[in-house]
Amino acid sequence: MFWHRWEAELLELFSSGLVSLWLNMAGLSRVNSSSFNAVNAIAGNDVPWSVLPGEPDTMAQATLQQYLEGLSRKGLVSSSQGVWLQAGAHFLASNQGTIPLPAASLTKVATSLVALETWGPDHQFETLISATGPIQDGVLQGDLIVQGEGDPLLVWEEAIALGNALNRLGIAKVAGNLVITGNFLMNFETKPEKAGALLKQAFNANSWSNEAAYQYQKLPAGTPRPHVAIAGGVQIVNYGAALLPKQILLLRHRSLPLSHILKLMNIYSNNVIAESLASSLGGANIVAQQAAIAAGVPQDEIRLRNGSGLGTENQISPRAICAMFATTQRYLQFRNLTIADLFPVSGVDGGTIDYRKIPQDAVVKTGTLNDVSALAGVVPTRDRGFVWFVLINRGTDLDDLRDRQDQLLQAIVQQWGAVSTRPLPLSPNSTKPVGTLLGATERNEAVRSAIEVNTN
C-alpha cells in the first residue's frame, strides 16, 4: 500500500514540476526524465534551494514592472518594495530580492523551518501532572503540581480534557495548591500566575468563564464537564519540580504534534506560539543562524529579533524567505507531509487569508505591520510548474497593498495557466481541520491509578 502510494506521488511530482526543479538544481536538467531513475534523482539531491539572481524571464519581468509602476503611482518608492519570483529553481524576476527588508510574520517561516529540523514534525510537548499526597474519598491530600515543557497550544479544550482525566483518577478536590513549574503557558498567556489561574478555572466547570463554556461546546457531544475544585491558590515555583516535596506522577499530557501546532500558528499568525517556539529553540539569533544554514542563504539575509516578526527589526531578504519555504517543502516531502500541512491553502483555510483573492490552491504565509504588508508562498501553474514568490511592501494602505498582491498572483496564473487539480505536493495530508483535534482524550496518559497513588 505504501509503495503504491509513493509511486503515485512520484508521478504527481513529475507532472507538477517539482522533480524537474530538483533535476535542474542538481545540474541534470537535460536528462530525459522518462529514462532517468526517479528514486536516484530524488535521493541524490542535496544541493541548497537558494537561487541566484540571473537573467529575468521576459514575461515575469514585464508583470513585475507593471506591479511596481502601480505602486509608484500610489507614491510608494520602488526601492522599499521587495519581490522575488522563481519557477522551481529557475530565477524569474526580482526587486530588492537579496536585500533584508522588514518581513513581519514571514518571520514565522524561519521559526517553522528551524522547529521542524530541531524536533521533527511528530514532536509532542509534554506536561506532567503530579501529586504530593494520597487521594482519600475523592480529595487529593496535598498539592497538584503541573510541570510544563513549553506546550504553546494548551488551550481550554486541552485543559478540560486534562481535568476529566483527573476525575477519572478519582480526584474531585485538591486540599492544597495548584503548583506551576517549568515552562507553562495556558490560552496563550505566558505569565505563569495568569496561566495557572486559567488552568485552575478550566479544571472546575463550576467556575468556567463564558469563553471556557463556549470552547467546551466545540468538544464532541457527551464530553463530561470536569469538577476538580482546588482549595488553595496558584503557586509558582521557579526552581523546578525536582526540588519540590516527594511527588507521585499522575498524568502525562502530550500536545498536538508539532506539524499541527505550526499549521494553527501560521493560519492565524499567532505571535505567542511563534515566540514560545523560538524561545525553546534558543532565541531569535539561533533561529536566524539555523534557518540560513538550512536554506543555503547568506547569514546576513536573515536578521531576527524575535520569532514572530513583531517589529521592523526582523528583516529577511525575499530570496531567503523563498529558499526557506522551498527547503521546508523538501524536508516534509519525505515524511508524508507537505507545506500545506504547515501553512494555509487558499480556498481551504481561513485565518489571515480570509476574504483574500489569492489564486486557488496557493500555499501562503501573510505578514502585517503598521506599514508592512507581506505575502509569500507557492502557486501552481500549468506551464511553469510551481512558482515560488515573496512580496514585501512598505506602505500604510494595507488593504490596497493586499489587493495588489492578489492581483499580481492572479496575473501570474493567467500568464502560465491554472492547474486543473491541486498537485499532491501542495495538498495537506489530512483534510480534517486541526482545531477539531484539540481536547483529544488519548493524549492524556494515566501513569498511576488512584489505588496506586494511595499505596505510594
What is the pLDDT averaged over residues 204-225? 95
Q: Is residue 26 assigned to a domain?
A: no
Residue 164 lies in a domain: yes
Give the model's pLDDT for residue 89: 86
Per-residue pLDDT for 272 more than 50?
yes
* 9 in a structural domain: no
15-19, 50-54, 83-87, 291-295: the lowest-pLDDT one: 15-19
What is the structure's pLDDT at 49? 55
Q: Does pLDDT of 431 surpass 80?
A: no
Residues 244, 302 within the same domain: no
Q: Is the pLDDT reported for residue 275 higher than 60?
A: yes
Kindly report, residue by residue over 33-48, the tens digit of the pLDDT: 332 233 222 332 333 3
pLDDT tens per residue, range 299-347: 999 999 999 999 999 999 999 999 999 999 999 988 999 999 999 999 9
Residue 164 and residue 313 in one domain: no
Tell me the average pLDDT across 20-28.
36
Statement to judge: residues 221 and 343 lie in one domain: no
Q: Is the dihedral of CA 151, 154, 158, 164 positive or negative?
A: positive
Within-domain flag for 161 = yes
Quick check: 72 pLDDT over 50?
Answer: yes
Residue of 352 and 436 predicted with greater confidence: 352
Position 30 pLDDT exceeds 50:
no
Is 270 inside any structural domain?
A: yes
DSSP string of 321-354? HHHHHHHHHHHHHTTT--GGGTS-BTTT--GGGT
Can you give the pLDDT at residue 449?
A: 60
| Whether residue 147 is found in the same domain as residue 203 | yes
Question: Do 99 and 150 share a domain, yes or no?
Answer: no
Asked whether the predicted pLDDT for residue 150 surpasses 50, the reply is yes
How many C-beta atoms lie closer than 10 Å to residue 266's C-beta?
A: 27
Q: Does 347 or 54 have the greater pLDDT score?
A: 347
Q: Where are the beta strands (DSSP E) in 14-141?
A: 82-87, 90-95, 101-102, 126-131, 135-136, 139-140
Helix or strand run (H / E) with residue 3: helix 2-16
**Which residues form the domain of 63?**
48-121+260-422
Report the pLDDT averaged over residues 287-302. Answer: 96
For the segment 155-197, what is each residue's pLDDT rounded down to a tens digit?
999 999 999 999 999 999 999 999 999 999 999 999 999 999 9
Cα distance between residue 368 and residue 384, in whole Å:
29
Residues 445 and 374 in one domain: no
Q: What is the CATH number of the domain that holds 197?
A: 3.50.80.20
309 inside domain: yes
What total number of domains does the chain contain?
2
- HSE-CB at 89 with a 13 A cutoff on CA atoms is 19
Query: Do 271 and 415 belong together in one domain?
Result: yes
For the chain, the residue count is: 456
Helix (H, G, I), strand (E, B) or coil at 83: strand
Confidence of residue 53 (pLDDT cuts 50, 70, 90): confident
Residue 289 lies in a domain: yes
Looking at the fold, whether 319 and 408 belong to one and the same domain comes out as yes
- The residue assigned the cell 537558494 is 50
Determine the pLDDT at residue 210. 96
Cβ 184 vs Cβ 127: under 8 Å: yes
Same domain, 195 and 238: yes
pLDDT at 17 over 50: no
Whether residue 24 is contained in a domain is answered as no
Is 164:202 a contact under the CB 8 Å cutoff?
no
* Whether residue 167 sits in one domain with residue 143: yes
The three-state secondary structure class of 218 is coil
Q: Residues 419-423: what's their mean pLDDT?
A: 92
Inter-residue contact 453 to 250 (CB < 8 Å): yes
Which tops the pLDDT comparison, 302 or 455?
302
Q: Residues 55, 68: contact at Cβ < 8 Å?
A: no
Q: Is the pLDDT confidence value at 126 over 70?
A: yes
H or E, element range at 237: strand 234-237
Confidence check: pLDDT of 269 > 50: yes
Is 227 in a helix, a strand, or coil?
strand
Q: What is the CATH number of the domain that holds 287?
A: 3.40.710.10
**Residues 249 and 297 both lie in one domain:** no
Q: Examine the domain organization and report whether 195 and 248 are in the same domain.
A: yes
